[in-house]
Amino acid sequence: MKLDNKVAVVTGSGQGLGLAYAQDLARHGAAVVINDVNHTIADAAVSSIVEAGGTAVAVVAPVGSTETAQKLVAGALEAFGRLDIMVTNAGILRDKVLWKMTDEDFDTVVNVHLRGTFTCAREAAVQFRAQGDGGRIVCIGSPAGQRGNFGQTNYSGAKAGIVGMVRTWAMELERAGITVNAVCPVAATAMTESVPFLQPYIEAMRNGEPLPPFARRELGFGTPADAAGIVSFLASDAAAEVTGQAFAIGGDRLALWTHPDMIATGYRDGGWSAESIAQAWGSTFSDSLESVGENLPVEPAR
């Protein structure tokens, strides 16, 4: 599970889930490029990694444009000489019901989540192909993209689109040794604070109370750190053959996710680290991987 000599960019990693991904990648040995729109937040994230013995730099820029994607990859090359892992996590919310959502509400969210994932993944793919030794792209989706969520037309649409792009890119990049996967986390963040049925559990966590087994197992809900192990696993050599998949993770639950159901669900008390995922992979998940591209069954001619 070591990521020594690997370099990762994690967009939107100043806090929340993105910071948890960056810290876990660094803990496994990767040098990390932190990204946020706020200098103070980005610098604090870098400090948290460096103080823990890791290596990190910051690139402050809003995700969405090609210019920012190029700036992020250039930042990795300038600081560390290469790029091996791209994690597209940056996102924002503009929640409103359909009849109240403005064009700006829709376009702003889609620009960061969907276009930002596209531009950053494209820039990473160009760099990986130039380097010639493969690479890892991990795109962050959401349960909202798989099952919907009230008031989140823009967010749900973008997250569903991300999973669709992941499955396409896995086909396109396979020959270059580049894997592409999606992770749909369920964790206590600013983006889940608006979900009504999660409120009691979020309040419990704020009060330092342990989450009940129902929340961690059946809901698959937990902390950002609970969702970080799958990213490090997918970035590692242990996941070299895993591509075009969507994973749901949170609390004690990890599952492969096909539309609209979860398959091959596994539970582990205390949550899933990258190491425990690697140990359980062959016996729990590998036989349930979804077909990608040319491996899909063909509908008989009528």
Predicted pLDDT of residue 302:
40
What tens digit of pLDDT does each residue of 235-263 get?
A: 999 999 999 999 999 999 999 876 556 66
Q: What does the pLDDT average to over 40-64?
A: 98
Does the structure show a pLDDT above 80 at 174? yes
Task: Please report, as a single letter, which amino acid is at residue 120.
Answer: C
Predicted pLDDT of residue 299:
43
Predicted pLDDT of residue 37:
98
Q: How far apart are CA 205 and CA 197, in angstroms?
A: 14
C-alpha distances (whole Å) from 173 to each of 22, 85, 181, 289 are 24, 14, 12, 18
Predicted pLDDT of residue 261:
61
Query: HEC profile for 146-197?
Result: HHCCCCEHHHHHHHHHHHHHHHHHHHHHHHHCEEEEEEEECECCCCCCCCHH
Q: How many CB atoms are closer than 10 A to CB 189?
A: 18
Categorize the per-residue pLDDT at 290 as very low, low, confident or very high, splitting at 50, 70 and 90.
low
Does the structure show a pLDDT above 90 at 281? no
Cβ(131)–Cβ(82) under 8 Å?
Answer: yes
Structure-token pair, residue 297: 């069954």
Does the structure show a pLDDT above 60 at 301? no
Q: Decide which of 143 and 97 is more confident.
A: 97
Predicted pLDDT of residue 108:
97
Categorize the per-residue pLDDT at 168 as very low, low, confident or very high, splitting at 50, 70 and 90.
very high
What's the predicted TM-score (pTM) here?
0.89
Q: What does the pLDDT average to over 29-35?
A: 98
Residues with catalytic annotation? 142, 155, 159
Structure-token pair, residue 283: 């016996």
Q: Decide which of 285 and 228 is more confident.
A: 228
What tens digit of pLDDT does each residue of 93-132 get?
A: 999 999 999 999 999 999 999 999 999 999 999 999 999 9
